[in-house]
Structure 1
Amino acid sequence: MRHDPHDSRDPDDEAQIRALITGWAEAVHRGDLAGVLAGHAQDIVMFDVPPPHHGIRGLAAYRAHWPPFFAWQAQGARFDIETLDITAGTDVAYAHALLRCGTPEEFDAHPGFRLRLTFGLRKEHGRWLVAHEHHSFPHD
C-alpha cells in the first residue's frame, strides 16, 4: 500500500494501537497491574460494567478498580479479544473490540455473550495513550 504524501497520518499508527490494546488485554488476563496501566493517560476516563456507574476518572482511580476484577478472573475466567477494529487519525484514534470475558459456566450458559469495549486514544509526544475506555455487556 502506497502512502499518500498529503496524508499526515503515520502508517504505523494502527499497528502501534493494535499492539497497545492487545498488550493491555494480555496484561489484564495475566493480572499484571503495571501492564494494564501502561499506555494509559493520567486523565483516563473509564465507564465499566460494575459501579461506579458515573465512571472512573484519573489513573489512580483506574489502578484501584482492577484488583477485584483480577480476584474474580483468578477463579478461571477468560479475557480474550475476538475482534479489534481501529480507526486512527493523526493524533486521535478510536477502537472497538469484542471479548470473551467470563467463566466456563457463563460461556456454557450463553455461548455468544461478549464484552464490548470502546477505546478513545490520543497521541502525545509521538506515543499513543488510551484516554477513554468503555466496557459493556448487552442487556437483554
Structure 2
Amino acid sequence: MKTSTHAAYCNTAQGQIRALLERWSVAVREKDIDGIMAYYAPDIVAYDAILQLQFKGADAYRKHWEFCLGLCEGGMLFEQHQVTVHADDQLAFAHWLCRCGGIDDKGEEKSSWMRGSAGYLNTDDGWKAVHEHFSAPFDMTNGKALFYLKP
C-alpha cells in the first residue's frame, strides 16, 4: 500500500477500527495488560467464552484478562481472521474469527478457533470497545464446545 493510500485508509473509521484491533492483538500476544485494557471503554460489557456469563466494567474485565493471561505460560497466540468492520463517525461494529491459545513448555501449540465481535464508540480518547463477545459453537446433544472446528 502506498504511504498516501495507507494514511487515507487509516483516517477512515473502518481503518481506525482495524488499526485498533491490531494494536490490541499485539498487546494480547505480548501479555501487556495495560495495552489490552487501553482498547476498552471504562463501562465495557463483555461476554467472554469462559468463567462468567458477563463482565461489567473495565476493572472486572481486567481481572479476567489477568487470569486468562496467567493460563498461558509460554508464547501467546491471538489472531483475527476474516475481519469485517462497519463504521460511521461515532459508532462501529466488527466481527471476526479468532485463533487464540498458547505454546506449552514443550513448544507445542495449544489453540482453538472462536468467534469474536465488538461494538465501538468514538470517544474523546478515540475509539473504544464498549461491547465484546467471544464464543465457541457447541454440540447441543452433549453440551461440549466444538474447539476443533477450523475456518
Query: TM-score scaled to structure 2, two decimals?
Result: 0.74
Amino acid across the alignment from 2:50: P
Task: Look up the equivalent residue of 2:59 and give its one-letter code.
Answer: A
SS of the equivalent of 2:52 reads: coil
Q: Distance in 2 between matches of 1:26 and 1:81?
A: 11
Q: CA deviation at 1:75?
A: 3.6
CA contact (8 A) 2:14 2:87 kept: yes
Structure 1 runs (4+) deviating above 4 angstroms are 103-107
Q: CA deviation at 1:77?
A: 4.8
Q: Identify which of structures 1 and 2 has the higher relative contact order when contacts are C-alpha pairs closer than 8 Å and 6+ apart.
A: 1
Percent identity among equivalent residues? 34
Give the structure 1 partner of residue 97 of structure 2: 98
- Aligned mates of 1:74, 1:134 — CA distance in 2: 24
Contact 2:45–2:130, Cα closer than 8 Å, also in 1: yes
Matched residue count: 125
Distance of 2:43 and 2:122 partners within structure 1:
14
Given residue 82 of structure 2, which amino acid in structure 1 is its aligned partner?
A: T
Structure 2: state its 5+ residue gaps: 1-9, 103-107, 140-151
Q: Deviations over 1:63-110 (max 9, x none)?
A: 111112112223445212222110002211100011111355555xxx
Give the root-mean-square deviation of aligned CA atoms: 2.0
Which position in structure 2 is the counterpart of 1:18? 18
Residue 37 (structure 2) pairs with residue 40 (structure 1): no
1:63 aligned partner: 62
Check conservation: 2:29, 2:75, Cα contact below 8 A.
Answer: no
Classify the secondary structure of the residue corresponding to 1:114. strand
- Work out whether residues 113 and 136 of structure 2, in 8 Å CA contact, stay in contact via their aligned partners in 1: yes
Where do 5+ consecutive residues of structure 1 fail to align?
1-9, 108-112
- 1:76 and 1:126 map into 2 onto residues whose CA distance is 30
| 1:117 equivalent in structure 2 | 116
CA deviations on 1:36-84 (whole Å, 9 max, x unpaired) are: 011311100000011211x000011111111121122234452122221
